[in-house]
Amino acid sequence: MDLYVRTLLSAATGFAVLTLASACFPDDTAKAVGVNPTEPGKDWPAWFAQHPQFIADGFDFPVGPPDAAGYYNAQPFGRNLHLGDDWNGKGGGDSDLGDPVYAIAHGYVTRAEDEGGGWGKVVRVVHHFPENGSTRTVESLYAHLDTLMVSEGSWLRRGQQLGTIGNAGGRYPAHLHLEIRDSAGMPLGGGYSHDTRGYLRPTEFIKAHRSR
Ligand SMILES: [Zn+2]
């Protein structure tokens, strides 16, 4: 997308004031968070057709891959209106601070930035794969990272490290907030909502699309 279109979209979407709630996004962190469009409207099937080696061949968990060994889901999708899963080290607290976070599948990085507020550093990856005789595009989002190890426009392989587990500048005990969206380029969102349209249950999705 060229800069002009990006600027238009940025102006159109403006800033969303997020009402943040619950443990992962405490109320006191509420602030205006910029919405990044992350290439909406891109022809993802065509883009991946040009890079067929990155068409996803299955999904793994983002920590302790492939099966999240050593970690547990401290706040599953739907609990407290949570729009993702919170992966914590079994040691609790900040015992997992700095642990590696891995791409859940082959894909293309559309965003790798510090989004501020309750988000901290975030990586967003678009995945494309065949399903039921057609193709499907989803996006994974990894939040509260301590370090970013990839940049926008990078291609990733499943299991490639993209960053490390963080605590969003000490706001939370260190954990990975993982979302999976049913399309690419949705607004950043607020991590919690009654409105789950466009959001997938990460653990169920991964289990239904394993790499083996
Ligand atoms: Zn979370």
pLDDT digits (tens, 9 = 90+) for 40-56: 778 999 999 999 999 99
Q: Which amino acid is at 52?
A: P
Cβ–Cβ under 8 Å, residues 109 and 152: yes
Q: What is the chain's Cα-based Rg?
A: 16
Cα(134)–Cα(136) distance, rounded to whole angstroms?
Answer: 7
For tokens 């910029």, the residue is: 34
How many whole angstroms from 40 Cα to the centroid of ligand 1? 24
More confident residue, 152 or 14: 152
What domains are defined for the chain?
A: 3-208 (2.70.70.10)
How many whole angstroms from 23 Cα to the centroid of ligand 1? 8
More confident residue, 117 or 161: 161
From 15-24, 75-84, 85-94, 99-108, the region with the lowest mean pLDDT: 15-24
How many whole angstroms from 172 Cα to the centroid of ligand 1? 10
pTM of the model: 0.83
How many whole angstroms from 129 Cα to the centroid of ligand 1? 26
How many whole angstroms from 124 Cα to the centroid of ligand 1? 15
pLDDT at 14 over 60: no
How many whole angstroms from 46 Cα to the centroid of ligand 1? 32
pLDDT of residue 41: 79
pLDDT at 206 over 90: yes
How many residues does the structure list for the chain?
A: 212
How many whole angstroms from 49 Cα to the centroid of ligand 1? 33
How many whole angstroms from 144 Cα to the centroid of ligand 1? 9
pLDDT of residue 24: 52
pLDDT at 209 over 70: yes
pLDDT at 1 over 60: no
pLDDT at 37 over 80: no
How many whole angstroms from 63 Cα to the centroid of ligand 1? 15
How many whole angstroms from 80 Cα to the centroid of ligand 1? 10
Cα(96)–Cα(90) distance, rounded to whole angstroms?
Answer: 8
Ligand 1 is an ion; its neighbours by CB within 5 Å are: 24, 86, 177
How many whole angstroms from 7 Cα to the centroid of ligand 1? 30
The alpha carbon of residue 196 and the mean position of all alpha carbons in its chain are separated, in whole angstroms, by 15
How many whole angstroms from 2 Cα to the centroid of ligand 1? 32
Cα(70)–Cα(197) distance, rounded to whole angstroms?
Answer: 31
Cα(40)–Cα(42) distance, rounded to whole angstroms?
Answer: 5
Measured at the CA of 116, the angle between CA 111 and CA 118, to 5 degrees, comes to: 110
How many whole angstroms from 18 Cα to the centroid of ligand 1? 15
pLDDT at 12 over 60: no
Instruction: Please report, rounded to a whole number, the percentage of residues in the chain having pLDDT higher than 90.
Output: 77
**Bridge-partner residues for 125, per DSSP?**
109, 140
How many whole angstroms from 53 Cα to the centroid of ligand 1? 31
pLDDT of residue 39: 80
